[in-house]
Chains A and B, each alone.
Chain A
């Protein structure tokens, strides 16, 4: 059926999903650290919204809770912690443009297409009215990974990691109307702990190499000093 025939709620859903995808593109090529964090927060917010819509539409009550969880974690807590980190490492002014942006963006687009192609068999499964979003969530995961590959700045890498988590969450919501509660809590807890540890590591890395450029973390290698 064509888009026009879909119920309004679902159309809204698709719009939001598109926006989420857009935010991760923004995240990918955002130069300023702070605005990257904001973009990440927006992504979280959008996903929370999607969750609420799915909850009302699909009538899965526990999704309200996970929507709340997402909002707390991804929109408030983690961005706030990142902000504090950035301030402590006085990186507010830090900007770092993406190298070869055109190439990277093309790669990201390719990933989107790839994930759509990949998601087809799943879309073929008539299950929920959110099925089309599977492709989007997969794309977000892959783009997050891509961002980690192309962004040498530690904080940005963490952002990429977190946006991968967003993608996963979106996938959970869109495909299966959320995971069992136990798992959701566990995942959320892990993410939180991970965020704390990332904070610790920012400081440790800063202490050891006076920078957050992970490219300079290259002592441990077989190629250079092991030439016998």
Chain B
């Protein structure tokens, strides 16, 4: 029985990890649909992303003659790293062993690992676009990373822990407390998420106009299953950030025990949260236009500023009490 008790959390973690895989295309589809609706189009069905993935997996992969082994290894590394990063973020239940394995700094590290190989893969063929995309992607993330970590530090210093599970627990324990620092941190994290997941106004996932591509430019040469893995990884990343924002700032409803009812509610709640966030994102993407690449730093500086304000707010306004 106790054997079961030690085994259960891992099982739960595995289930969550698979849930991320399963949910990712759904969220992407939902997002596209909402956007289409906002633009008065009918748009593709919710399940279209699944179909795309399936199709890509079925197709044969075409690799440039000039590609090196790294080019073929990269998709798996990117996919796996992103997936593991996602698996450490509590989705429906809090106390996960995976959250112990890798705290939020490791999460950032894993995402960086994925990005590293993504960029390398972009440069591997030796085309101009690949290099451009890699350079820009790395710059954006380089600017986004300090903002993200500052925001995270604000949370971590409130919770006295970098462990996501403990952070969420602390949030829940504290109950509904209005923290100015969290407001700023939230803003910062949202901006970072937009930048990192390559959404408008920093990047446009739908574009194939050469000079505006960032993420797309890097995976330009991929096809077949490789492309599928890359796309899937991107979708997972989106869900990851969604879950992060949702569960860290609004953890209510997440399952704190392994009781089936709790888990069920947790699953339901997080689904609603994600869908809601997606709606917000869709709206913002419809009203905003993509900005010139060299104005993106301004956005990220704003994120950094917000994170800094959050931190100072925490230090000045909250610790004293």
Touch test A–B (CB under 8 Å): no
Binding site for B on A (CB under 8 A): none
Chain B residues proximal to chain A, CB less than 8 Å: none
